[in-house]
Amino acid sequence: MEKSIGLLELIKQEFDCKEVDIRTFSPLTLAFVGDGIYELVIRTAIIERGNKSVESIHKEKSRYVKAQTQAAMADRIQELLTAEEASIYRRGRNTNIHSSAKNASMSEYRKATGFEALCGYLYLNGENERMLELIKAGLKRVELL
């Protein structure tokens, strides 16, 4: 049986992407990717539980992707992080942010940015299982799973 190739590898192949050292990416670049992949994980998990109206899906998704939820998840998974993961999270959290969330404090927004940077880093590093493990642990610890 042929082994399935991951989405990241398919994207790299199809779009002829060059190899880059993701450690050189800014925390905001990692958070940009992390925001998208985290939302894709949440959207996928919601729709895989059954067909619903788009309005219902959007409302449910919003509970999971808002800055307050991501900040709470980040707080509750700290002891699970490796030293490298904790460093990526801190870089994202401590970066100079030029915007703010509409319905979150700056502290929550910074923690959410750190969490997204971590998700982006893990995704771009091909560590999807670890990313999903941390997302699942965070959701359980904030009692959304």
- One-letter amino acid for residue 9 of the chain: E
In-domain check, residue 131: yes
In-domain check, residue 108: yes
Q: What is the pLDDT of residue 3?
A: 53
Q: What's the CA angle centered on 75, arms 21 and 40, to 5 degrees?
A: 55
In-domain check, residue 112: yes
The pLDDT tens digits of the residues spanning 73-123 come to: 999 999 999 999 999 999 999 998 877 778 899 999 999 999 999 999 999
In-domain check, residue 88: yes
CATH code of the domain in which 35 resides = 1.10.1520.10
In-domain check, residue 14: no
Query: Would residue 70 be called left, alpha or beta, if left means φ above 0 and alpha means ψ between -120 and 50 degrees?
Result: alpha
CA–CA dist 52, 55 (Å, integer): 8
Question: Domain of 72?
Answer: 26-141
CA–CA dist 111, 57 (Å, integer): 25
Q: Position of tokens 């082994």?
A: 3
CA–CA dist 116, 95 (Å, integer): 12
In-domain check, residue 16: no
In-domain check, residue 4: no
In-domain check, residue 90: yes
* Residues designated as active site: 35
Residue 145 has pLDDT above 80, yes or no: no
Spatial contact of 89 and 114, defined as CB atoms under 8 Å apart: yes
Q: Read off the pLDDT of each residue in 6-20 and give the average, rounded to a whole number.
A: 91
pTM score, whole prediction: 0.92
CA–CA dist 106, 128 (Å, integer): 28
The pLDDT tens digits of the residues spanning 16-65 come to: 999 889 989 999 999 999 999 999 999 999 999 999 999 999 999 999 99
Report residue 1's pLDDT band, with 50, 70 and 90 as the boundaries.
very low
Please count the structural domains in the chain.
Answer: 1
